[in-house]
Structure 1
Amino acid sequence: MKFAPLAVLASLSLGVHAHFRLLFPEPRGVFVADQEPNFCGGYSDVTTNRTTFPLEGGFFRIRQGHEDWSTSVLVSVAPNPNSFDTFKSGGEDLYARFWANESKTGNFCIPLDLSASGVSGVEDGANVTIQIVLNGGDGQLYQCADLTLSSNYTFPSDIQSACVNETADHTAHGTETSTSPSTSETAGSSGSGNGQLGGFEHLPVLSALGAGVVGALIAIAL
């Protein structure tokens, strides 16, 4: 019986998610850790104050605290996307960026060229919603941002200057860590940036999960 508390703690630890924060563009609502495993991080309704976003040469910024993670971006052109089905067409996910993986934790600025998605309706002047999906090995997490696309919009200098990659010295689940700046890419650059996330290459990821632990992670470059 004296080992029961340890067993309880071990079982609880398997259910802990490594949270991430969408820093840019502005997410639908304030960060709520317990809601991140849910659609759009718990925010099902579209915001009225959309972020103006370039049709080409865009990027998104995240902070996350899990090693060996992968991320993708889904896009919806529905007026009020309020379910996972509104990010699908014919039962297939509408990807703005396919799965890509990274081994380090920290802050990341990742290129996002929405014009290259090939999704019908993603065009100049369109209202769209992107859903950032992150898998750190213990289940998928979600954050959404509502955008208005513009073919002639460029980011202000303060947003541009914030597009840097910083890798953390150690894992911290959704908290601040000491960081060391790595080589950063200009927004929209075709360079590889930090790990495999900096460029536009599409890297589908298959992962087998068991009891909250990654069983396998295979990246296949198309």
Structure 2
Amino acid sequence: MLASVVFASLIVAANAHFQLQFPAPRGPFVEDDEPKFCDGHDDPASRRTFFPLSGGVISLNSEHAKWVAVVSITSKSDPTQFSDFAPVTGVLQASGEGLFCLPFDLSKTNATGLADGQNATLQIQFNGGDSDLFQCADITLSSSVTSPPCSNGTGVASASLSPAPSATRSASGSGSSGAPGGSSARTSPSSSPSPSNPPSAGERVKASIVAVVVGLLGIAAAVA
């Protein structure tokens, strides 16, 4: 289960957003719904994007000067909750506003059980310091397609990607019937692990993102 990411505040423009470019997002961008599950689009897209099993690229437009993100995936035909997804990258951190291209080779992630012709959904969890934002892309995996050309926008710095979570997770996610604690299926993921259980891959991702944002705060304070 991908845990909720809790961020310290950064000095950023209020109400900034991000827009997924490729693969195509599940529905039209709705800025007020970005904190919701899949940007408020609960149903899979009627037309899926063919996405390469290896050598793929995810592109997005960021309105934040500094931001972090995590990519998750599920092979469920109709994912309805955050716990349907499993993280397949570590914490991506980047700087600069504008178009950003993330090399995303599924064959080199910890996702398992993916095959040519299989339907899946990607979830991008993004935060520039103000709140968690979510967008989804419904895809069909293919061994014969390539991602379209993509290049970073002017002033967008090269990003770094931390190692993927060490725990191998099925691409179908945990498959629980509802969000933890009896909350709505499409509410934000749980924020903390049970003390009696070891941290999940998603919880390790959360800890890494918090560390990244705290580091950025320290840099901002030093500059000031």
Q: Which segments of 5 or more consecutive residues in structure 1 lack a partner in the other structure? A: 1-12, 88-93, 169-181, 183-193, 209-213
C-alpha distance in structure 2 between counterparts of 1:150 and 1:24, whole Å: 15
Q: Retained in 1: the 8 A contact 2:92–2:162?
A: no
Q: Distance in 1 between matches of 2:164 and 2:65?
A: 20
The Cα of 1:17 is off from its aligned counterpart by 3.0
Q: Which residue of 2 aligns with 1:44?
A: 42
Structure with higher Rg: it is 1
What per-residue deviation string (whole Å, max 9, x for no partner) do you get for residues 177-206 of structure 1?
Answer: xxxxx7xxxxxxxxxxx4224x78559533
Question: What is the root-mean-square deviation of aligned Cα atoms in Å?
Answer: 2.8
- Which of these residues, 78, 82, 85, is aligned with residue 83 of structure 2? 85
Which has more strand, going by share of residues? 1
1:121 corresponds to 2:113: yes
The code of the aligned residue for 1:62 comes to L
Where does residue 69 of structure 2 map in the other structure?
A: 71
Q: Equivalent residue of 1:52, what SS?
A: strand
Whether contact under 8 Å (1:207, 1:217) holds in the other structure is: no
More helix by share: 2
Q: Is the 8 A contact 1:100 1:202 kept in 2?
A: no
Inter-partner Cα distance in structure 2 for 1:57 and 1:200: 18
Q: Which has the higher contact order (CA 8 A, sep 6+)?
A: 2
**Aligned residue for 1:104?**
96
Matched, 1:166 2:129: no
Q: CA deviation at 1:67?
A: 1.6
SS at match of 1:98: coil
1:23: which partner in 2? 21
| 1:11-55 residue CA offsets vs partner (Å, 9 max, x unmatched) | xx9994320000111100001000001111111111121111100
Of 122, 146, 159, which residue of structure 2 is paired with 1:196?
Answer: 159
Aligned length: 166
Match of 1:54 in 2: 52
SS of 1:132's equivalent in the other structure is strand
Unaligned runs of 5+ residues in structure 2 are 1-10, 166-204, 218-224
Three-state SS of the structure 1 residue aligned to 2:210 is strand
TM-score (norm 1): 0.66
CA deviation after TM superposition for structure 1 residue 103, in Å: 2.2
CA distance in 1, matches of 2:88, 2:47: 22
Instruction: Give the direction of change, closer, same or farther, for the CA distance of 1:202–1:167 in structure 2 (3 Å limit).
Output: farther
1:191 is aligned to none
